[in-house]
């Protein structure tokens, strides 16, 4: 393993070591560890509310401002603080509250979080629903059943089992790596119900371990403390995931996110089919997912770059684990923004380049700055490609739409002086579904481009 430490310590994109959540793909949430009975809708209010306007209600609830019910009527599951007229009662973070329009009409049951910009996230649109063990049992069973027909199970044993809002469970991610489950909680609702959720997962999936990785940076924004540890069972010393027949070590305790980026499974398989006899450059390689697929696909050489020493260590180990030719692989610990410039100055050329950076724009507010970052790396990549070369480029920024991403790439090609065609439009794999009423779920977009010969 070559480990040239060319990274610049001053780069704004350089991650810290270990568990920084570079690509968190769901929004975070609220407060309140531990388990409580959450069926408070039949209880009396704990504090007598002071009504400024609007009708009095018999239970703690969230009353919206006039006209601010529109997004809920379209079944968007978030209630932003700006839409809230008042909160009746004295609910705690994680409590289930009825959300009502300004006339008092029921809209939804939602998990409350006074510490978040997103005051509540919807559990259910049905007034008769009882948010409790049975409700979570049904939602989790449905989520598992929806995945049972996905055919990648034949040569992969990693799968996202629960994809938060898109599976009707806002703030809850559950990834499966063989017989280990990793759970990540990002909002007050699932934080409140975590023991119930863990019991249900244990009963339905019978894993050897449920490990909790609720330690993303974004939890702080929701007033939640980080938590990282075993929730059920015992963590095996070596956790492995098989993806498209390749074996990867997954560091569930200290790796990024829940340990592995399952959303790129299909796109990695595609890379394998494009790599034969090519000189490949894999930027932001993490534990080598795209690199190993390229090598197995017959790549002539693969240069892989990442800023994380830990990730590169595992990547090199993964290569050996799969019996692939280490002589064709070069690993570089560096800041990609710097490394691409160095490669350009060295006049290095590649036939296939992969750019899979961390999230530059969590929301649209960061889009402009993020756009500059995407343009920069894509422009440099276009310049490093040989005529007829391929660029596989991704964005996992919720704040960058597919349309905007394509425009940024078009601008980069223009400035690099290359003509290019799109040959594939790519997204996350099928175990990361997108709820139609929650377009924020469509965070991952990718393009494969061929530059003119």
40 SS3 class: helix
Phi, psi (rounded to 5 degrees) for 191: -60, -45
Which bin fits 164, alpha (ψ -120 to 50), beta or left (φ > 0)?
Answer: left
Residues 381/371, Cβ–Cβ less than 8 Å:
no
Q: Could you tell me the CA-to-CA distances from 203 to 49, 66, 141, 163, 200 in Å, in that order?
A: 41, 44, 11, 19, 5
**Rg of the chain (C-alpha set):** 23
Strands 209-214 and 180-185: parallel
426 SS3 class: strand
Q: How far is CA 183 from the centre of its chain?
A: 13
DSSP string, 184-216: EE-SHHHHHTHHHHHHHHHHHH--SEEEEEE--
Task: Give least dist CB 147 to ligand SAH, A.
Answer: 20
- According to DSSP, residue 91 is labeled P
Closest residue (Cβ) to ligand SAH?
289
Q: Could you tell me the CA-to-CA distances from 338 to 15, 268, 333 in Å, in that order?
A: 14, 25, 11
For residue 306, what are its two tokens? 């990442």
Residues 349/386, Cβ–Cβ less than 8 Å:
yes
Task: Give least dist CB 360 to ligand SAH, A.
Answer: 9
Which of residues 185 and 444 has its CB atom nearest to ligand SAH in the complex?
A: 444
Q: Which of 61, 283, 392, 396 is catalytic?
A: 396
Question: Active site includes 396?
Answer: yes
Residues 54/102, Cβ–Cβ less than 8 Å:
yes
The residues of the shown chain that bind ligand SAH, judged by CB under 6 A, are 11, 13-15, 22-23, 256, 261, 264, 284-287, 289-290, 305-308, 311, 335-337, 356-358
Q: What share of the chain is helix, strand, coil (3-state, %, to 5)?
A: 30, 25, 40
Task: Give least dist CB 243 to ligand SAH, A.
Answer: 10
For residue 369, what are its two tokens? 């700055």
As beta bridge partners, residue 102 has none
Which of residues 17 and 126 has its CB atom nearest to ligand SAH in the complex?
A: 17
Which of residues 97 and 274 has its CB atom nearest to ligand SAH in the complex?
A: 274
Task: Give least dist CB 46 to ligand SAH, A.
Answer: 44
Which of residues 136 and 152 has its CB atom nearest to ligand SAH in the complex?
A: 152
64 SS3 class: strand
Task: Give least dist CB 223 to ligand SAH, A.
Answer: 27
Which of residues 17 and 46 has its CB atom nearest to ligand SAH in the complex?
A: 17
Task: Give least dist CB 70 to ligand SAH, A.
Answer: 36
308 SS3 class: coil
Which of residues 118 and 295 has its CB atom nearest to ligand SAH in the complex?
A: 295
Which of residues 11 and 437 has its CB atom nearest to ligand SAH in the complex?
A: 11
Task: Give least dist CB 396 to ligand SAH, A.
Answer: 8
Point out the residues that are catalytic. Answer: 396
């Amino acid at each position: 393993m070559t480990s040239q430490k060319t990274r610049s310590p001053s780069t704004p994109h350089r991650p810290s070591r270990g568990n920084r959540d570079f690509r968190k793909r769901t929004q975070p949430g609220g407060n309140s560890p531990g388990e409580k009975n959450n069926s408070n809708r039949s209880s009396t209010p704990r504090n007598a509310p002071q009504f400024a306007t609007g009708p009095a209600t018999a239970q703690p609830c969230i009353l919206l401002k006039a006209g601010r019910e529109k997004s809920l009527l379209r079944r968007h599951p978030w209630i932003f603080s700006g839409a809230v007229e008042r909160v009746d009662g004295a609910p705690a973070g994680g409590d289930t509250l009825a959300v009502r329009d300004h006339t008092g009409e029921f809209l939804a049951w939602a998990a409350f979080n006074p510490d978040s910009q997103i005051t509540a996230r919807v559990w259910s649109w049905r007034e008769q629903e009882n948010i409790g063990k049975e409700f979570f049992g049904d939602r989790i069973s449905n989520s598992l059943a929806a995945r049972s027909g996905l055919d990648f199970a034949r040569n992969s044993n990693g799968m996202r089992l629960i994809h938060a809002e898109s599976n009707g469970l806002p703030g809850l991610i559950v990834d499966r790596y063989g017989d280990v489950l990793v759970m990540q909680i990002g909002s007050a609702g699932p934080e409140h119900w975590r023991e119930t959720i863990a019991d249900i997962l244990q009963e339905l999936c019978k894993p050897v371990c449920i490990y909790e990785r609720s330690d993303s940076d974004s939890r702080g924004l929701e007033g939640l403390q980080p938590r990282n540890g075993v929730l059920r069972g015992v963590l095996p010393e070596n956790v492995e995931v098989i993806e498209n027949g390749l074996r990867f070590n997954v560091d569930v305790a200290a790796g990024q996110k829940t340990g592995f980026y399952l959303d790129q499974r299909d796109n990695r398989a595609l890379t394998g089919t494009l790599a034969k006899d090519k000189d490949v450059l894999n930027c932001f390689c993490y534990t080598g997912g795209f690199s190993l697929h390229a090598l197995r696909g017959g790549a002539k050489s693969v240069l892989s770059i990442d800023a994380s020493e830990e990730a590169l260590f595992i990547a090199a180990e993964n290569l050996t684990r799969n019996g692939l030719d280490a002589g064709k692989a070069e690993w570089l610990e560096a800041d990609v923004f710097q490394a691409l410039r160095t490669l350009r100055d060295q006049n290095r050329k590649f036939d296939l380049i992969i750019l899979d950076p961390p999230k530059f724009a969590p929301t649209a507010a960061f889009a402009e700055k993020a756009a500059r970052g995407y343009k920069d790396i894509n422009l440099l990549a276009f310049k490093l490609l040989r005529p007829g070369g391929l660029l596989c480029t991704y964005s996992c920024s919720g704040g960058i739409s597919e349309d905007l991403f394509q425009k940024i790439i078009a601008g980069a090609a223009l400035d690099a002086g290359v003509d290019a065609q799109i040959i594939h439009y790519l997204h996350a794999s099928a175990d990361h579904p997108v709820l139609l009423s929650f377009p924020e779920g469509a965070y991952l977009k990718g393009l494969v481009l061929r530059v003119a010969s």
